[in-house]
A and B are shown apart, each in its own frame.
Chain A
Amino acid sequence: MYEFSRGPLVWIAFIVLIGGTIYRVAKIYRDSKKERVVHPYMSLSHGMRSIAHWLVPFGARNMRMRPVFTVMSFLFHICLLLTPIFLLGHVMLFEQSWGISWWTLPDGLANVMTILVVVAVTVFALRRLAHPVVRFVTKTSDWVLLVIVAAPFVTGLLAYYQVFDYRTVMILHMWSGALWLMVIPFTRIVHMIFFPLTRAYMGSEFGHVRSARDW
């Protein structure tokens, strides 16, 4: 089980992630050609301008209106993306298999970042319950996604602190991590892939076509 999770599962997860991403982008690109109002109005500079404003903390009015949420959201996304890539344990696995390695996070910092992800997911979950609008538009799938996103980080922490049976926790960690990677293209986590596309389109519509700002 451990060997399968360590080997083929990782391959499967990345193939599904990359294949799924290519499929989604190719499909949305093809469909967007059918909509005559997308491609003729796209502008690289205005698209990039819009993306930049929404990738920089407090770059948009909506972010300035809710500073606590903005900080939370940025920390969550940064930690969520960077921790798995630069975690010493993960890089070592690549080194063992392929002999390649790269810069890694100090253990203590990685630990804090992982905890931040779990805390942020908890806050998002509480917000889904507490904010009337968010509660009104929350579907069961939103809860499932929160669990899928949190699971690799929770199990990672359990493994780090060696709570429960280490081997079992590690297998759970690898499976939940693989699941997380695989659902990206096929659930609302696809916003990770579509963000630059929808943002660039809106940036072009506002900036290029209408000479207005969209942040």
Chain B
Amino acid sequence: MKFKKTPESLVKDPGLDETIKNLTPERIVQVVNRVLTKENSARLQAYLDTCVHCGLCADACHTYVSRDKDPLFAPVSKVRQTLWELVRRKGNVDGEFIRNAARIAFTECGVCRRCSMYCPFGIDMAYLLLIVRRICSLLGVVPVYLQDTTNSHSVTSNQMWVQQDEWIDTLQWQEEEAQAELSTVRIPLEKEGADVMYSVIAPEPKILAQLLGNMAIIFKAAGEDWTMPATDGWDNSNMAMYSGDFEIMGRVERLHWETAARLKVKKIIMGECGHAFRGAVYDGPRWLSWQYPPIPMIHAIEYYYDLISSGRIKIKQKYQEHVTIQDPCNTVRGRGLGDKLRYIVDALCEKFTDVDPKQEHNYCCAAGGGVINCGPPWKRSRMLSNRVKAEQLGKTGADVIITPCHNCHSGIEDIIGFYNLGMHVKFINEILVECMEKPEESEG
């Protein structure tokens, strides 16, 4: 089978174009067979044998629907062009094949698992494309920007090369910022025995630091006994999970859990990020042979829900803008938090219009799963792959899109720009801090 030429196959990415020059046929065969026979077994076999090539998964995929139903972009077509061929040829493929397989698996699928909800047999196509990514990663063929985040995890344990001094400085700076609003706010570092460790991902200290200050205010208002580590181990966003470098993925998650254990916290609250949650709760522990996480972890959605429903935080004035929701795959399809998310939005906002389809059936943001981390070379392709999202959001008529996920946030902002939707994206934390009753006011 020859790959059909699409505009995307002409995109230049040194992570793919240069690295395939180092491949030898023997190495490809060796890696493919290792992954197909040593690392995977029953699920791969059952999925390959059970698929009846019916194409019922096609309409589930935002890439396929957005690209005028081009058959090359249906989930089963992506598997056909990559994994089926690798299995059939027992790994006897050339560098060009690996390049195209990497392009499909990394940039045209966000492993959001929506398609597995549309397959009558529940075939997990995201898992199949992660196998392709794993093969590409072991061969060193990974989009260069994505590989850079994995390298950063390897060196610093966070995804954006944040050094320890920068991390501490940023927290202290945000503590001061928050104190301008509420003078008693602290960001407690290294507090052993605190009830809660708060986990964030590297984009927060790096580019969205005010989210840290907001959270400090929310914790203060809720009277939470919390802490953050001053050492590495605070970030579990884990792009290595998506680049296919599971060894580094495991290291990042282990350090994160060990840091929480060192601080002797009772639980971890994960900030508004979806794939960090997935890495910490599912993929990381499984790679480390732990059935479940060693310390309970809840996502920010669950925490806000608890705060509002228990009355620990009261809403002073509702947010006035017309809002809608972007359901993140890893917390809604991956944790069933869609109802709690809606409870929060209803409690916080005056006017809320839901999306259609919603909850588990929501369309992917096309940024998660490492797709946005493939960087500028692939941005246009990513935009073309999610026209359906722009149409879905446009239909709500809302002005603000609330999404508790960093990938969704960035991806949706790009889509708003590309399709001129004239909307804004917000985290829950930004709206909550604006609308809630703050302690000093109630004291006064």
Contacts and interface: CB of A to CB of B under 8 A. Distances in A.
A8 to B, nearest CB: 29
Interface residues of A, number: 48
Interface string B120-152: 111110000000000000000000000000000
B334 interface: yes
B77 A133 contact: yes
Contact of B80 (A37, A40, A66, A137): A137
23 contacts: A29-B42, A32-B41, A34-B42, A41-B291, A60-B117, A60-B118, A60-B120, A61-B361, A62-B117, A62-B120, A133-B55, A133-B74, A133-B76, A136-B71, A136-B72, A136-B80, A137-B76, A137-B80, A188-B50, A188-B51, A209-B282, A210-B336, A212-B333
B42 A31 contact: yes
A32 B53 contact: no
Contacts of A133: 55, 58, 64, 69, 71, 74, 76-77
A117 to B, nearest CB: 16
Interface in A105-151: 131-139, 142
Contacts of A194: 46, 49-50, 121
Nearest to B289: A36
Contact of B55 (A61, A134, A206, A212): A134
A162 interface: no
A197 B46 contact: yes
Interface of B: 40-43, 45-47, 49-56, 58-60, 64, 69-72, 74, 76-77, 80, 116-118, 120-124, 282, 286, 289, 291, 332-337, 357, 360-361
Contact of A198 (B46, B69, B70): B46
A173 interface: no
* Best-buried of B59, B71, B121, B336 by chain A (most CB within 10 Å): B121
B335 A28 contact: no
A40 B289 CA distance: 11
Contacts of A83: none
A32 B121 contact: no
A134 B69 CA distance: 12
Interface string A179-194: 0000000001011001
A52 interface: no
A214 B118 CA distance: 8
Contact of A213 (B59, B74, B360): B360
A212 B336 contact: yes
Interface of A: 28-29, 31-32, 34-38, 40-41, 50, 54, 60-62, 65-66, 131-139, 142, 188, 190-191, 194-195, 197-199, 201-203, 205-206, 209-215
A198 B117 contact: no
Contacts of B124: 202, 205
Contacts of A65: 59
Nearest to B43: A35
B71 A35 contact: no
Nearest to A51: B122
* Best-buried of B49, B123, B357 by chain A (most CB within 10 Å): B49
A60 B119 CA distance: 10
A195 B291 contact: no
B286 A135 contact: no
Nearest to B75: A133
Contact of B77 (A136, A195, A199, A209): A136
